Structure 1
Amino acid sequence: MATAIRECASVAAAAAAPWADMETDCLVHVFRRLDLEDLAAAAPLVCRGWRRAAADTSLWRALDLRRDHVARFMPWGALAAAFARRYGVERFTFAGLLRLCVARAGGSAADLALPPLLASPAADLDHISIRCPTLRRLALPQVPSCDEARLPELIPRWPLLEHLDLDAKPSSCFPALAAQLALHCPNFTSLKISGAIKPEDAAALASSLPRLRSLCLDRSYLPKQQLLAILSGCGELREFSARSCVGFDDKDEEVTKRGARIERFETGGSRLVDELEDELAGGDEFCNSSYVDVM
């Protein structure tokens, strides 16, 4: 925030105008460099002009709350202290910050990325679906299995959705989710998921989302049969990534041939199940990012 404030001060000096009388458009331009936390907990308290500028809905259309480390949202962190000091908030919660950001967006949020901190996923997702009807990009953390079934029900509330990023593929309702995306989101072209890709999941991708342009399945359990079914059904893919997967060999000739038509085709680090079992049996270290959780 310090850099942005210095820039704002230099603009004010050049215009020979008091801070409070600076043009709102100028302040909004400078505030685009601020983190959401600074927009929420610092800028509005400087003066009325800054409060007015910080409330501009254009500053809240991209709500990237996944960036950096989740520790900054903890009750003992600097952000919680800032809210306590400036707003008298006794118990800081991520859900409260999320609702503040969504409210500031005024229904115009287009991009939302959430960290794995949802204390009440069902309630938070319901709130987002109602207050953010214009979402085009949505990134969600792993949703508890008891709440997964709600995801397909929420999709119709985001008719403009173009990209969906799920930390973990829903284990029980992915075909229903794909069907809802096909039915209610005509501009949907980009999907990122990770998990066990079952035959019914591959069939759902091929039948419900054949117009996908970008698909990322990194670190998934992805048998060759499912992979070939996806590549065959999703004929408009321009980007496809299945790196560090288990279930097929990244040097398989048939897979390579099928992927030759795709502009960006990445499968590096993927291996057959028996190859992974051999490595684990050999005592190699496997607690790192190159291994997939085979569900």
Structure 2
Amino acid sequence: MASSSSSSSPAAKRNGGYRNWAELPPELTSSILIRISPIEILQNAQKVCRSWRRVCIDPSMWRKIDLRNLDGLVYDLETMCRHAVDLSQGGLLEINIDDYTTTSLLTYIADRSSDLRSLGFVECGPVMSRGVIEAVMKLSMLEELQISYESIREQDLKLVGQSCPNLRTLKLYCMDNSEYCCDKVALAIAETMPGLRHLWLFRNGLSDTGLNAILECCPNLNVLDLHKCSNITLVGNMGN
């Protein structure tokens, strides 16, 4: 029984004795815990002992929240995400979430994270599209945005560009290569996002016309990633 009890305590056997992990300096504990997933922190780490809990609920632990690649977990991820956002106390700078995203969750994040710099998520279906744009419009400090969508209107992208003047990285994943992924989208980017430095387009139907507009209106663009954009011919000067 004694052996079983000691193995479950926050102490690790080393050199014939025990090191009490609860007595580590807070900055070292933080450096260790920040390497595990937010779910593990909320569900397990913060329950180990009082010293760990103090570290786990410190707002500095929640400047960045990554909730991707959590397949197999049975937790209520939206509730967990809201809890993590609350723990940041308004200091959240970067968040990546997966395909359980809802418009209410995005609104919750936007309303409590006005200093957010990076927002990444996937699978924005047509029902969510307007909610996504309304949430992003509240994030005037945003520098990086990643959206995967089925349909998005050029008017919506213009609102994003007008609301987020500091936007430097935009990643758009079009899931069905529809009519919405076309030169209208490219022209909206060109018109309202002149400060872009990195543009990533996947399965976008833009032509050379749309691409030229982006290149002419985004003078700071130094990384342009085009994947499965089959309507671009890249002839003449564009091909050099």
TM-score of the aligned structures, taking structure 2 as reference length: 0.82
Q: Which residue of 1 aligns with 2:60?
A: 58
Q: Deviations over 1:22-72 (max 9, x none)?
A: 322221122122222221111111111111111122222111112x3x423
* SS of residue in 2 equivalent to 1:116: coil
Q: Which residue of 1 aligns with 2:5?
A: none
Q: Which whole-Å CA distance do the structure 1 matches of 2:21 and 2:217 have between them? A: 58
CA distance in 2, matches of 1:57, 1:204: 37
Q: Which residue of 2 aligns with 1:110?
A: 93
Coordinate RMSD, CA, aligned: 2.6
Question: Are the equivalent residues in 1 in contact too, given 2:45–2:56 (CA < 8 A)?
Answer: yes
- In structure 2, the residue matched to 1:140 is 121
More helix by share: 1
Partner residue of 1:185?
164
Cα separation, 2, equivalents of 1:166 and 1:100: 23
Q: Tell me which residue corresponds to 2:142.
A: 161
Decide which of 112, 117, 128 is 2:109's aligned counterpart.
128
Per-residue deviation at 1:160? 1.3
1:216 is matched with: 200
The DSSP-based 3-state class of the residue aligned with 2:46 is: helix
Q: How far off its partner does 1:130 sit? A: 1.1
Q: Is the 8 A contact 2:11 2:22 kept in 1?
A: no
- Secondary structure of the residue aligned to 1:103 is helix
Identify, as 1 or 2, the structure richer in strand.
Answer: 2
| C-alpha contact (below 8 Å) 1:169/1:193 kept by paired residues | no
Q: Does the 8 Å CA contact 1:175/1:200 hold for their aligned counterparts?
A: no
1:28 and 1:56 in contact (8 A); partners too: no
Q: Deviations over 1:262-292 (max 9, x none)?
A: xxxxxxxxxxxxxxxxxxxxxxxxxxxxxxx
Q: What displacement does 1:17 show?
A: 7.3
Aligned-residue offset at 1:126 = 1.2
Identify the residue that residue 7 of structure 2 maps to in structure 1.
none
Question: Number of matched residues?
Answer: 224
| Partner residue in 1 for 2:177 | none
Distance across 2 between alignment mates of 1:46 and 1:115: 28
Question: How far did residue 144 of structure 1 move?
Answer: 2.6
1:189-221 per-residue CA deviation (whole Å, 9 max, x = no partner) reads 110102343232222111111221110113322
* Matching residue within 209, 213, 221 for 1:229: 213
CA distance in 2, matches of 1:194, 1:18: 47
Relative distance call for 1:239 and 1:29 in structure 2 (3 A) is same
| Structure 1 unaligned regions, length at least 5 | 1-7, 76-91, 258-295
Shift of 1:228: 1.9
Matched, 1:36 2:20: no
- What secondary structure does 2:107 align onto? helix
Task: Please state whether the residue corresponding to 2:238 is helix, strand or coil.
Answer: helix
Alignment TM-score, normalising by the size of structure 1: 0.68
1:178 alignment partner, SS class: helix
User: What residue in structure 2 maps to residue 293 of structure 1?
Assistant: none
Aligned-pair CA distance for 1:142: 2.1
| Regions of 4+ moved over 6 Å | none
Q: Which amino acid aligns with 1:96?
A: T
1:253 and 2:233 are equivalent in the alignment: no
**What's the counterpart of residue 4 of structure 2?**
none
> Structure 1: how far apart are the matches of 2:187 and 2:143?
21
Matched letter for residue 141 of structure 1: V
- The equivalences for 1:38-117 within 5 A come to 38-66=40-68, 68=69, 70-73=70-73, 75=74, 92-117=75-100
After superposition, give the CA deviation of every residue in 1:136-193 in whole Å (9 maximum; x if it has no partner): 0001222231231233322332121000001126423x433333433x3232111010
